[in-house]
Copies of this chain bind each other. A is one copy, B any other.
Amino acid sequence: MQRYFAKQKIKDQFILNEEDIYHIKTVMRMNQHDRIQVVYDAKVYLCCLENVNADIQIQIEKELEVKENKTPKITLLIPLLKEQKMDLILQKATELGVNRIIPIETERSIIKRKEEKEDKKIERWRRICKEASEQSYRIDIPEILPIQNPKNMKPLEGLSLICSTTETQKNIRFILNSNTTCDRINVAIGPEGGFSESEEQMWNQLGFISVSLGNRIMRVETVPIYILSVLNFYYME
């Protein structure tokens, strides 16, 4: 069954955004009395389409039970990448349960920051995360923060890690086993070529622990998928 995030709830009816209405009517070609799931305020409702004409009416039938996920809240800090790689990361990270994404400026990133285009870019990223959230039946949409420069950042709450290409002692398994009670995990991922030495030191000063992901040489867009897979596995009940 299709799932949509509502933008508003008025009594026992939901208001969707225009793209979702287009999806229901034109892509899915749904009819009156067809059912959909609607998420609002982290609750999921089984709904019935009472009207699919100009004014679409979405009537709540009942609230559905939702299994809570006990994985710590995960923030990924990711470098600016080419569109295709960024899109892949956003889609896959959403599927795998990321809670927050902070795009970061890095020295070796090929993509440079263009402030005038930033709002549009973030808007686009949010749309990708919303769609992936619907597809993977999430009850929330990952939050995307504005692009940040680590020079101006403050330490984040929780266990903070930076994926290092030079760290050889502490690997991700060792670090997770030594921090079993954290409820927030933040992971900073470098661009192609990794963080520079001085960047890594700056992250360390911000409280990010350098960590090795093992011996494999992964492309940058594989790293966030790897990390989220590992965290899902590690905190599996």
Contact = CB atoms under 8 A, between A and B. Distances in A.
User: How many residues of A sit at the interface, in one of the four size bands?
Assistant: 20 to 34
Contacts of A215: 67, 69
Given A95-B219, A219-B95, A219-B135, A214 B226 contact: no
A218 interface: yes
Contacts of A218: 95-96, 136
Interface stretch (A35-43, A46-54, A104-112, A227-235): A227-235
Interface string A107-146: 0000000000000000000000000000111000000000
Given A67-B215, A232-B216, A233-B233, A222 B92 contact: yes
A189 interface: no
B96 A216 contact: yes
Nearest to A221: B92
A135 B219 CA distance: 9
Contact of A236 (B69, B88, B173, B229): B173
- How many of these chains are in the complex? 2
A225 interface: yes
A95 B232 contact: no
B216 A97 contact: yes
Interface string A192-218: 000000000000000000000011111
A95 B216 contact: yes
Contacts of A229: 225-226, 229-230, 233
A81 interface: no
**Best-surrounded residue of A67, A171, A173, A232 (most CB of chain B within 10 A):** A232
The 7 A-B pairs of least Cβ separation, nearest first, read: A229-B229, A226-B229, A230-B233, A136-B217, A137-B217, A173-B236, A214-B236
Interface of A: 67, 69, 88, 92, 95-97, 135-137, 171-173, 214-219, 222, 225-226, 229-230, 232-234, 236
11 contacts: A69-B215, A92-B222, A96-B222, A97-B216, A136-B218, A214-B232, A214-B236, A230-B230, A230-B233, A233-B233, A233-B234
